[in-house]
A and B are shown apart, each in its own frame.
Chain A
Amino acid sequence: MSDQHEKPVLSTDQPLQLFEKQKRIFPKRVWGKFRKLKWLAMLITLSIYYLAPFLRYNRGPNAPDQAILIDLADSRAYFFFIEIWPQEVYFLTGILIVAAIGLFFLTSLFGRVWCGYLCFQTVWTDLFVWVERFVQGDRNARLKLAKSKWSLEKARKYLTTHALWLLISLGTGGAWVFYFNDAYVLLDQIFHLDVEPSVMGWIIALTLSTYLMAGFAREQVCTYMCPYARFQSAMFDQDSLVIGYDDRRGETRGKLKKGQDLTKRGHCVDCTACVQVCPMGIDIRDGLQMECIACGLCVDACNSVMDKLSLPHGLIRYDTDRGFREDRPNGSPPSVKPHYLRLRTLWYVGILVSVSVGILYGLLTRSPLDLHVIHDRNPLFVTLSDGTIRNGYDIKILNKTHHDKMYKVTFEGADGITTKVQGVGNYSLIALPVFADSVAHFRVFVMAPAQQNPRTPITVTLTDPFTGLTDHYETIFVSKKYDD
C-alpha cells in the first residue's frame, strides 16, 4: 500500500486534524515458521481459557470440586490444591508479581513474544482476522469488498462475519463466568436461560467488549491503550530480540528487473509482502517501531519471497540490535548470537525464584486455623463487686479445613485468670465448635485481680486438640486507668 506512509502535511486549506482516523488494515494470509507458532499458541491459550473451568479436583466433602474456581459468594478462591481465603489475598499479590516478572523475563529473553503470541488482544484479533478471511477471502478480496458499493453479496458476507464474531465473543464472555460458578451447573442454567442477572450482565459485557476489541479496536489497543507497549523499551537493550529489517543487505531496494544480478544490489525487491501481512499496519523496513508486536509474520512473508528468488532467509528476521549492526558480507548468516545470560535476565530469574519460593513456602506452611482477638474498647474494663477486674474480648476462629472442629482457647499472661464464654448454650473455652470451612465468633470474658501493669500483655492460644496445631494472638488485659 503506497498510502501507508503518508507524511502528515500541515495545510492551511485543511482544518487542523488533532486525531488521526483509524486506517482499516487487511492483513494478508501468510505461512511459515512464525505463523505456525502463532496458531499453536492460539490453540493452547484458547483451549486453556475455554476448558479450564470444566476440570474437576476432589477436595473432599464440604468443598466445591471445581479445579479453578473463584467463589465470590463465599469469598473463597480455589486453584487445584490451593485454597485462598480473603485474609490471604497476599497470595494473589505474589502471583501477580510472578506474572509481571515472568513477563519481563520473557521479554528480556525473546523480546515482545507476549505481544506477538500470547496476549489475549493478539490471540482474539488473530482469530477474528481468520474469520474475516474465511468468509470474505484474502486481503485483495477484502479490500475490494470494503471499497465496493453495498450489495446483497456484501451484506451477506459482512453479516456472516459479524455473526461469527459475535458467536466467538459470546463463547469468550460465556467462558469467563464459569470461573466464578460451578461450570456444569451454570452451563445447564445458561442453556435453559435461567441465570442470575449478574451472570447475564457479565456475559453480555464480555461478549460486547470482545466483539469491540477484537473486531474493531484491534491494533489501536496495542498502540494507544496498552501501557505495556509504552514501557517495554525500559526492558530493551542491544541484546534483546527484535524483528528487524537488515538494511545493510536490503538497500538499495527496488523492483526486480529481468535478468538483474541480485548479488550486486540490495536484496529488498520492494514487494511489500511484509507490509501486507502486518496486523499492525506498519512497514518494518522503517526500523524498530513501538507499534511492532514482534509476531514475526513479516519474517515469514519475506522468507517465502527470498525462497522464490533463491536468496538466503533473514532479510527480515528476529535478531538483536548487535546482530543487525554487525559488519558482514551481504547475504551471509549473522554470526552474532543473542546473549541470553545477561545480568538483566539473571536478576529476573533471581526475583522469580525468590517470590515463587516465598509463595510456595506460604502455601505449604499455610495454617488451617487462624485466630483473631479484639479487646473491648467500651468499656475497657469492668470492676466486679468483689474488686475483680473483668475484660471482654471478641474472638474469631477461622477453621480452614473441610471438617467440623472443636478448638481449645487459653488466655495466659496475667495472674489468677478465670474465663467465661458468653452466649447460647454452655460453651467452654475447652471446646469451641467451629463448622467446616467457616468463621465462628465468640465473646469471652476474662476475670483476674487488678494487675501491677495497667496494660498486662496476655497471649491467647488457639489449639486444635486432635492435630496439636496452634495459633497465637497477643493482646492486653486492662485493669486500671492510667491516671489512677
Chain B
Amino acid sequence: MADKIERDDHSGVETTGHEWDGIKELNNPAPRWWLMVWLVTTIWAIGYWVVYPAWPTLSGEGERGGTVGNSGWTQYTQLEESQAEILQQRAKYLSDFEKASYSEITKNEALYAFGLAGGASAFKDNCATCHGTGGAGAPGYPNLNDDDWIWGGSLDDIEMTIAYGIRADHEETRYNEMPPFDEMLDQNTIEMITDFILSDQPAGAPAYADNCASCHGDTGRGSQEMGGPNLKDVIWLYAGTRADIIAQIKRPKHGMMPAWHSRLDKQTIRQLSLYVHSLGGGEM
C-alpha cells in the first residue's frame, strides 16, 4: 500500500499503489452486495454438505460410496421413491387387470388401454430386436401385424407362444421340426411338390400327400395345432420364391422363439399378448 491515497486522473478511482511498466492498478473492489451474496452462498453450500450427499469416498455410508447427508436423501432413494409411486399408481389397475379374463379386459376400456400401454413398452424392450419396433418382422421372424399365425393368433395362443416360446428350452414349449427332405426325396420330386404348392400342378400331389400333408394339411392350408405354416397364402416366413421354397424343403431353417415365462411376469406377458393381438391380425 502506498502511504498516500493516489487517484487515477481519468476515472477518479483510487489506485492500489501497484505499478507495472507505468500501468497502475485501480482499486475497484467487487460491490458490497456481491460480496454479501458470495458469503451467503458459501455458508449455504456448507449447509448443503451437512444435509445432502456431498463428498465422494472410495467406500462409505452411501449406497455407491460417498458421504450421506443427515437428511438421508440421495438420488437413488429419490429414484426408488418415484418408481414406488409409479408402481402404486399402477397397482390399482394391475390388481383389476390380474383378476380380469381377456374377454373382460377387451370389454373394459380402461383395462384394455392399460394392457396396450404396458404391452407396447414391454414389446420395445423385449420383442423389437427380432420382430422390429412396429412388429413387422423380417425373413425368418414372423410379421405380427398380419393375419397369418403359425401357432394360432387368439389371445390365449399368443400368450402361450410368448410364455413358453417356440423350440425353446422349456418343457411346455411349442415344438415341431420339418425334416430335411434332400436325403429322402430326389430333386425332381421336390420340384414337383414345389410346383404343387405354388401353382397346384397335379403332378406333385401324391408326393405332397405322402410327405407334407401330415403337418401342412391336405390342401396346404397348414395346421396351427402342429405349427405347420399355411402354404397357400401369400405370406412366407422365409422368402417365397420357387428357389427359396425348394431350399426350405431340402434343408429347412427353423427359428427359435425364447420362452419369456421366467424373464417376464405373467401380467407383462398378458399385456404383450393384448398388444400383439391389437396390431391388427389378432384372431378371436
Name A residues whose Cβ lies closer than 8 Å to a Cβ of B: 11-16, 376-379, 382-387, 390, 392, 422-425, 443, 445
Question: Cα distance A42–B15 when bound, in Å?
Answer: 54
CB-nearest residue of chain A to B106? A424
Which of A16, A387, A423, A445 contacts B234, CB < 8 Å? A387
A383 touches B12 (CB 8 A): no
Residues 141-155 of B contacting A (Cβ, < 8 Å): 143, 145-148
A446 to chain B, nearest CB (A): 11
- A382 x B133 contact (CB < 8 A): no
List the one stretch of B91-99, B107-115, B255-263, B265-273 in contact with chain A.
B107-115
B134 contacts partner chain A, Cβ-Cβ < 8 Å: yes
Knowing A383-B235, A385-B233, say if A15 contacts B146 (CB, 8 Å): no
**Residues of the A chain whose Cβ atoms lie less than 8 Å from the Cβ of B233:** 385-387
- In the complex, the answer to whether B280 meets A422 with C-beta atoms within 8 Å is yes
In the complex, chain A residues whose CB is within 8 Å of the CB of B12: 11-16
B13 at the interface (CB under 8 A from A): yes
- Considering the complex, give the chain A residue whose CB is closest to the CB of B8: A12
Counting CB contacts under 8 A, is B209 at the interface?
Answer: no
A385 contacts B112, CB within 8 Å?
no
Contact A424/B145 with A378-B133, A387-B234 known, Cβ cut-off 8 Å:
no
**Chain A CB within 8 A of B225 CB:** no
Write 9 A-B pairs (CB below 8 A) sorted by A numbering: A12-B7, A16-B12, A378-B134, A379-B134, A382-B145, A384-B146, A384-B235, A385-B146, A387-B233
- Please name the residue on chain A nearest to B12 by beta carbon: A15
| Chain B residues packing against A (C-beta within 8 Å) | 7, 9-13, 106-109, 112, 132-136, 143, 145-148, 230, 233-235, 278, 280-281
- B10 surroundings in chain A (CB, below 8 A): 12
What CA separation (Å) do A338 and B187 show in the bound complex?
106
Contact of B136 among A382, A386, A443 (CB under 8 A): A382
Given A379-B136, A386-B233, A12:B9 Cβ within 8 A: yes
Write out the residue numbers on chain B whose beta carbons fall within 8 Å of the beta carbon of A382. Answer: 136, 143, 145-146, 280-281
Q: How far is the CA of A13 from the CA of B136 in the complex (A)?
A: 83
Other A-B contacts than A382-B281, A385-B235, A425-B109, 20 sampled, CB-CB below 8 A, are: A11-B12, A12-B10, A14-B12, A377-B134, A379-B135, A379-B136, A379-B145, A382-B280, A383-B234, A384-B146, A384-B147, A384-B148, A384-B235, A385-B146, A385-B234, A390-B146, A422-B278, A423-B112, A423-B278, A445-B280
A379 to B146 alpha-carbon distance, docked (Å) = 11
Q: Does A385 lie within 8 Å of B278, measured CB to CB? A: no
Q: Which 6 A-B pairs have the closest CB atoms?
A: A378-B134, A385-B233, A379-B136, A382-B145, A387-B234, A15-B12
Question: Which chain B residues lie closer than 8 Å to A422 at the CB level?
Answer: 278, 280
Q: Residue of A at shortest CB range from B113?
A: A424
Distance in angstroms from A383 CB to nearest chain B CB is 6
Are B147 and A378 in contact, CB atoms less than 8 angstroms apart?
Answer: no
Cβ contact of A385, chosen from B7, B9, B136, B230, cutoff 8 A: B230
- Give Cα A384 to B106, complex, Å: 23
In the bound complex, CA of A443 to CA of B145 (Å): 14
Query: Of A12, A377, A385, A425, which one neighbours B148 at CB under 8 angstroms?
Result: A385
Task: Please tell me if the beta carbons of A424 and B234 are within 8 angstroms of each other in the complex.
Answer: no
Name the A residues within 8 Å of B133 (CB-CB): 378
> How far apart sit A392 and B132, CA to CA, in the bound complex (Å)?
17
The docked-state distance in angstroms from the alpha carbon of A377 to that of B9 is: 74
Q: How far is the CA of A460 from the CA of B47 in the complex (A)?
A: 63
B13 touches A424 (CB 8 A): no
Nearest-Cβ distance from residue B279 to partner chain A, whole angstroms: 8
- Assembly CA distance A387 to B11 (angstroms): 88
Residues of A close to B148: CB separation below 8 A: 384-385
Closest to A376 in B: B134
Query: Which of B143, B233, B235, B280 has the most chain A CB atoms inside 10 A of its CB?
Result: B280
For the complex, give the distance between the alpha carbons of A379 and B233 in Å.
Answer: 20
A382 CA / B135 CA spacing, docked (Å): 10
- Say which residue of A12, A13, A14, A424 sits within 8 Å of B109 (CB atoms): A424
Residue of B nearest to A11 (CB): B12
A12 contact set on B, CB distance < 8 A: 7, 9-10, 12
Distance in Å: Cβ of A311 to nearest Cβ of chain B: 48
Most-contacted residue by chain B among A11, A14, A379, A383 (CB, 10 A): A379
Task: State the CA gap A386–B234 with chains docked (Å).
Answer: 6
Decide: B13 and A15 in contact? CB cutoff 8 A. yes
Q: Which residues of A contact B147 (CB under 8 A)?
A: 384-385
Chain A residues contacting B132 (CB-CB under 8 Å) are: 378-379
Docked Cα-Cα span, A387 to B107, in Å, equals 31
Question: How many angstroms between the C-alpha atoms of A377 and B134 in the bound complex?
Answer: 9
> What is the bound-complex CA distance between A146 and B254, given in angstroms?
95
Which residue among B7, B10, B135, B146 has the maximum number of chain A CB atoms within 10 Å of its CB? B146
Q: Which residue of B lies closest to A445 (CB)?
A: B280
Kindly state the separation between the CA atoms of A16 and B10 in the bound complex, as whole angstroms: 9
For B14, the closest partner residue in chain A by CB is A15
Write the nearest CB–CB distance from B266 to chain A, whole angstroms. 22
In the complex, which residue of chain B has the Cβ closest to the Cβ of A14?
Answer: B12
Q: Are B280 and A390 in contact (CB under 8 A)?
A: yes
Q: Is the CB of A392 within 8 A of B280?
A: yes
Give the most central of B12, B136, B281: most A CB within 10 Å. Answer: B12
A425 close to B107 (CB less than 8 A)? yes
- The CA of A14 and the CA of B12, in the complex, are separated in Å by 6
The answer to whether A15 and B11 touch across the interface, beta carbons within 8 angstroms, is: yes
- Complex contacts, B109 vs chain A, CB 8 Å: 423-425
Closest to B145 in A: A382
